[in-house]
């Protein structure tokens, strides 16, 4: 497990702990219906917010470095990930989702960038 994956898991665990604490603290002072609604919202937040935050931070960091056109990093990305120049350029120019690059490849690119900075 890489340090980035460990960081992501830690962020998710902290969000879950804080959310559960808030739910436990407020459960006696609110009605059952409101508690059920808040529980559903909490579950949705636990599932979607960490991955959305992680993706946004990851994409911004990668794109910032790749836009500097550091040839050493770019060639290392080509060598280690097997990604094509066209795919990498599409990824750099994309506005978020639908980049055509898997999570594993994004993590690998992020590791390469971290190692070279």
Q: What is the pLDDT of residues 70-93, one digit of tens each?
A: 788 888 888 888 888 888 888 777
- At 70 the three-state DSSP class reads coil
Per the rule left: phi > 0, alpha: psi between -120 and 50, beta: everything else, 44 is alpha
Q: Give residue 103's domain range.
A: 3-116
Quote the number of domains for the chain. 1
The pLDDT-based confidence of 98 (bands split at 50, 70, 90) is low
Residues contacting residue 65 through CB under 8 Å, at least 6 positions apart: 73, 113, 117
- Amino acid 26: pLDDT: 72
The pLDDT-based confidence of 49 (bands split at 50, 70, 90) is low
Share of the chain above pLDDT 90, in %: 0
Q: Which structure tokens are listed for 114?
A: 């971290």
């Amino acid at each position: 497990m890489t340090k980035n994956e460990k960081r992501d898991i830690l962020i998710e665990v902290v969000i879950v702990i804080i959310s559960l604490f808030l739910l436990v603290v407020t459960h006696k002072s609110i009605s059952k219906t409101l508690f059920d609604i808040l529980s559903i919202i909490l579950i949705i937040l636990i599932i979607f917010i960490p991955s959305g935050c992680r993706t946004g931070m990851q994409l911004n960091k990668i794109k910032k470095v790749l836009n500097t056109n550091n040839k050493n990093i770019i060639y290392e990305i080509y060598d280690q990930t097997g990604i094509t120049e066209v795919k990498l350029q599409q990824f750099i120019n994309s506005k978020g989702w639908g980049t055509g690059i898997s999570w594993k490849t994004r993590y690998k690119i992020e590791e390469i960038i971290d190692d070279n900075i």
